[in-house]
Amino acid sequence: MTLEKLYKELNYVSALRENRQKYANIVLNDLSLLPILINILFMEDDKVSFKAAWIFEYVCAENIDVIVPYLDEFTSNLNKIRLDSAVRPVAKVCEFLAKANYSKEPNQVKNNLLPKHKERIVESCFDWMIRDEKVAVKAYAMNTLYLLGKDYKWVHPELAQILEQDYPHQSAAFKARARHILKKIKTKKE
């Protein structure tokens, strides 16, 4: 399938879970489509890019190892994602990567998520934390930062400062996640 064909096909993707899963399965069954999907995902301000992000999230949820050959491209372009509907699934994929990196289960991410990839993810997550993003994005970002903070000692103090600063002005959902993360950071110090 060409970029043009997949792009056209993505117009039929809806927000329904079954629909997203159907298109994710198409990609999972033909991984040659993955680089094309990623290409569409990073088309700045293109209204179809967020649908590519939805499918990409589902693909990574099924098998995070498929992202390994594209870690450079994915992490290098994180800062290009601006559409609200695309930021959430991309932030979730960053969380998937962080969880896989520290998982006790063997996976390819552990051996291939390099310091440069982690640093780009950390930078993007901090950007999402300080920008006016939706709570889900911030929740994925703070969890990702907490996990990657195991390798970067400066991350936890910076994250704690942002959470404490934003706490009074945020929603109940943000506050609940922030309390959880702050408790984990505090417990880790002791």
44-72 pLDDT, tens digit per residue, is 878 899 999 999 999 999 999 999 999 99
Polymer length in residues for the chain: 190
Residue 45 falls in which region: left (phi positive, over 0), alpha (psi -120 to 50) or beta: left
What is the pLDDT at residue 11? 77
E strands, 2-78, where? none
pTM of the model: 0.92
Looking at residue 15, the DSSP 8-state letter turns out to be S
> Residues of 35-74 as b/e, b for ≥16 C-beta within 10 angstroms?
ebbbbbbbeeeeebbbbbbbbbbbbbeeebebbbebbeeb
Per-residue pLDDT, averaged over 76-80, amounts to 94
